[in-house]
Amino acid sequence: MRDFPSCFGETGVQVADFSSSSANNKAAAQNLATCIYQCRLRGKSWLLNVTWSKNLMGQGLSVGIDDNTNQCLCKVDIKPWLFSRKKGSKTLEAYSCKIDVYWDLSSAKFGSGPEPLQGFYVCIVFERQMLLLLGDMIKEALKKTGASPAASGAVFIAKREHIFGKKIFGTKAQFCDNGQIHDLIIECDTSGSSDPYLVIRVDSKPMMKVKRLHWKFRGNHTILIDGLEVEVFWDVHNWLFGTTFGNAVFMFKTSHSAEKLWASQPLCDPQTQHWSWSQRFRESQSPSLDFSLFLYAWKNE
């Protein structure tokens, strides 16, 4: 199964093109979350990728900078087995630009997921301007870096996350930059049921329900969150007809143009899934495509 590729911004930056075929399913099913931010430096569009990971070795962090073609320009990795470096900094260089990355995770508190909940900061600084500041230790970050807020900072445009469960999959979701954080629950029981269904709840409130899932294993529906129209796309084919280790893919997109695009085209045939779904999103390069949340849902059997 392929992810739903997505394009953002005036230059149509592609921020997700992920394949989870049977050959690499086990490698893909990691507890990780990637947040993607977009900014402009010296007239160029840049993507800032912050990836949190969690495995038996511990917590990990990766900060990368891509250009508008999704080409990685530079990257800093804090491997789980080296996570004793919970505080530090590194200077990255791309296109003759020096960009400083600072982090302090020495007091970080973690929950069940890979992202820290509190007691940390991660920041990216360019020419003493704070492009991106994550975490609750704001005073400590400003004191350490000596940076001032940038006139135009990075904007949160996408997130990719792997979630796990048996029939209930939960995460925290923020559907726009600096927006409210919601509890997002996906419920889908595909075992032992002759008529499985899919339910999506936001802050315990049912937002949509899909019945007859054997016939509607792929589709899209619009819901309203924080006054925004959010297009929900789902593909649970692997849960119903694939291998035991197969994953489902969900996407939540704040977009009006995507709705018009999909309304004008029928759902793809399973045999042409890989091309059809990818092609539609590559064609939807509109500035109105504000934010996308990708969830890869893995069943714990």
pLDDT, tens only, 145-156: 999 887 778 889
Q: Is the pLDDT of residue 281 over 80?
A: no
**82 pLDDT band (50/70/90 cuts)?**
low
Q: Is the pLDDT of residue 97 over 90?
A: no
What phi, psi does 296 have (nearest 5°)? Answer: -100, 110
What kind and span of H or E run contains 91? strand 87-94
Identity of the residue numbered 175: F
Whole-angstrom Cα distance, residue 266 to residue 179? 32
The pTM of this model reads 0.77
Q: Which residues contact 207 (CB under 8 A, 6 or more apart)?
A: 200, 201, 223, 225
Q: What is the pLDDT of residues 106-135, one digit of tens each?
A: 999 998 889 999 999 999 999 899 999 999
Whole-angstrom Cα distance, residue 271 to residue 275? 9
The whole-number average pLDDT for the span 134-162 is 91
**246 pLDDT band (50/70/90 cuts)?**
confident
